[in-house]
Structure 1
Amino acid sequence: MKNQRLMGKTIVITGASGGLGEQIAKQCAQNGAHLFLLARNEERLEQVAISIRELYKVRCTAIKLDVTQYDQIPPVFRRIYEEAGHIDVLVNNSGYGIFAEAENIRLADVEGMFAVNVVGLIACTKEVIPSMCQRKSGQIINIASQAGKLATPKSSVYSASKHAVLGFTNSLRMEMSRYGVQVMAVNPGPIRTTFFDKADPEGSYLESLGRFMLDTEKVAENIVASMLSNRREINLPRWMDFAGTLHTLMPRVVERLGRKAFFKK
């Protein structure tokens, strides 16, 4: 999908070594954007960057970054500013989940999910706010989740982390509106990626709901088409977003009627 607004823009994507992040990067490159790709897996990240440079003839730089190593974040962004001058779009895509009932979840996993999904996201965002506000342009895109709107059994901590992302995003949007900086939340349902290798190692979630999985390329298309626009949120799929809205209005009814389906993970 074409988005002429991206031609020649500088876009930074975290968690770009595979899955949704990789697809967003490829489609941004198709639209003529120059990229900085960040992720922990340096070898895989460099492979993605090489492929993008060869296919789309744009600048694409791979930089190793673990967003939980907070002291590493400022120097990485300083390097990007030194090389590119400014950042037009930041896509906070790094994230993971572990499915377990609250009684059984390990505190190490609780800390890990919040470190990546929330604190790492905020730390990266803080690195672009001053420049974007000064230039009075730019966009911050936070990949949240439908789980941040409708929490279900076995995803209590993951949902809590995505609730936090949405709360941060909604507040940030109002703060940045004074400077003309756009802030967009992306709330996808389950996407067919390696996310579930860690979240659902037994495969029960995929077995139950595999046919409802979102296609990675389609989700990326929606995101890239909305870059540098005033769109507030992307919510996919529509039926799941409707369920979340209905839960806000009638939580007791939705929880009672959906209980059996909610436990299918």
Structure 2
Amino acid sequence: MIRNKIILITGGSSGIGAETAKRLALRGAIPIITGRNENRLKEMSAEIEGRHGIYRMDVTCYDEVLQITQRIQQEFGAIDVLLNNAGFGLFESFVDGEVEHFASMMDTNYMGMVRCAKAVLPYMQKRGSGHIINVASMAGKISTAKASGYAATKHAVLGLTNAMRTELAPMGITVSAINPGPIDTPFLKSADPEGTYFDSVRGFMLTPERVAAAIVRMIERKTPEVDLPLSAAIGIRIYGLFPRFADRIAGRWLNRK
């Protein structure tokens, strides 16, 4: 049941975070969207039906995450679901990428999830229930050229998610990961400003609506992990079994950045 659940969404001002919030609200849930851009949050608020909340929150600042989480608990009630969605990427070669870019992506994409999960965990532990969903990526399963920094963050997210799932299950807390392929969102335009990668994978691009629908189903069913699209999920399994063969066959397609 989703109705009346309080669902905290980081990175909720655009893309799959915003689309998921709209879908959840239509199902009777109470989405709480957060992000760093307050104006964009207000714009998105106008598109969400029913009761919801917006809070400016920077996931790289732990004190701010703790304060906002506490405010949400006081103003809306117990957080039932955390959708850890905030993140960004820069598609650049390892040789050319600046160390600061690697650190910044890790601070947001990985440590941001750690901070938010740590902030909601005491409340979920007290109730003996809750659901934490970490938005990872297919890049967390298969690394490709010009994605070393970004892929490393998503590998870290999947490692974190798997460990959390085992540790928190006895407390009644479900932990899930969703691993989408390329999505037509502002994220991709920021990661690939020249549009080279976008153009090369246009035919395989996921829509925010499709990913949001999968997240809603994940909340309903408490599914531990979902890979999108199905073709990529099959490819990942083949890669795990025959990595050298897959590199020869699919290397050119995977390295289209």
Separation in structure 2 between the aligned mates of residue 71 and residue 116 of structure 1, nearest angstrom: 15
1:246 aligns with 2:242: no
Distance in structure 2 (CA, Å) of the matches to 1:79 and 1:130: 14
Large movers: runs of 4+ above 6 Å: none
Shift of the alpha carbon at 1:84?
2.1
Counterpart residue identity of residue 29, structure 1: A
Report which stretch shifted further, 95-104 or 64-73.
Answer: 64-73
1:216 matches 2:208:
yes
TM-score by length of 2: 0.97
Do the aligned residues in 1 keep the contact of 2:158 with 2:177 (CA within 8 Å)? yes
Residue segments in structure 1 that go unaligned for 5+ positions in a row: none
- The aligned residue for residue 28 of structure 1 is 24
CA RMSD of superposed structures (Å): 1.0
> How many percent of aligned residue pairs carry the same amino acid?
41
Q: Please list, as runs of the form range in 1=range in 2, the aligned pairs for 1:153-172 lying within 5 A after superposition.
A: 153-172=145-164
Per-residue deviation, residues 140-194 of structure 1 (Å, max 9, x unmatched): 0000000000111111111110000000000000111101111110000001101
- Determine the C-alpha separation between the residues in 2 that align with 1:125 and 1:240: 28
Match in the other structure for 1:108: 100
Q: Which residue number in structure 2 is paired with residue 141 of structure 1?
A: 133
Q: Is the contact made by 2:7 and 2:82 (CA closer than 8 Å) also made in structure 1?
A: yes
- Contact 1:88/1:137 (<8 A) preserved: yes
Cα separation, 1, equivalents of 2:190 and 2:100: 14
**Of residues 71, 79, 90 in structure 2, which corresponds to 1:79?**
71
**Aligned partners of 2:251 and 2:239: how far apart in 1?**
12
The 5 A counterparts of 1:96-135 are 96-135=88-127
2:89 match: secondary structure: coil
Residues 186-201 of structure 1: pairs in structure 2 closer than 5 A: 186-201=178-193
SS in 2 for 1:184: strand
Confirm or deny: 8 A CA contact 1:92 1:142 kept in the other structure: yes
CA contact (8 A) 2:7 2:32 kept: yes
Matches within 5 A, 1:169-188: 169-188=161-180
Aligned to 1:42: 38
**In structure 2, how many angstroms separate the alpha carbons of the residues matched to 1:216 and 1:201?**
19
Query: In 1, are the aligned partners of 2:6 and 2:77 still within 8 Å (CA)?
Result: no
* 1:64-107 residue CA offsets vs partner (Å, 9 max, x unmatched): 01111222111011101111221000000001111111101111
C-alpha separation in 1, matches of 2:214 and 2:102: 30
Aligned partners of 2:195, 2:93: CA distance in 1, in Å? 16
Cα distance in structure 2, aligned partners of 1:239 and 1:81: 40
Amino acid at match of 2:204: F
Question: Are 1:18 and 2:14 matched, yes or no?
Answer: yes
Paired residue total: 257
Question: Is the 1:8–1:34 Cα contact (8 Å) retained in structure 2?
Answer: yes
Pairwise mapping of residues 215-234 of structure 1 onto structure 2 (< 5 A)? 215-234=207-226
Q: More displaced, 66-75 or 97-106? A: 66-75
Q: TM-score, normalised by structure 1?
A: 0.94
1:228 Cα deviation after fit: 4.3
Distance 2:106 2:142 in 1: 18
CA distance in 1, matches of 2:118, 2:73: 14
Query: Hey, what's the Cα distance between the residues in 2 that align with 1:63 and 1:124?
Result: 14
Match of 1:202 in 2: 194
Q: Which amino acid aligns with 1:47?
A: E
Q: CA deviation at 1:243?
A: 1.4
Greater mean alpha carbon deviation, residues 161-170 or residues 252-261: 252-261
8 Å Cα contact 2:5-2:29 kept in structure 1: yes
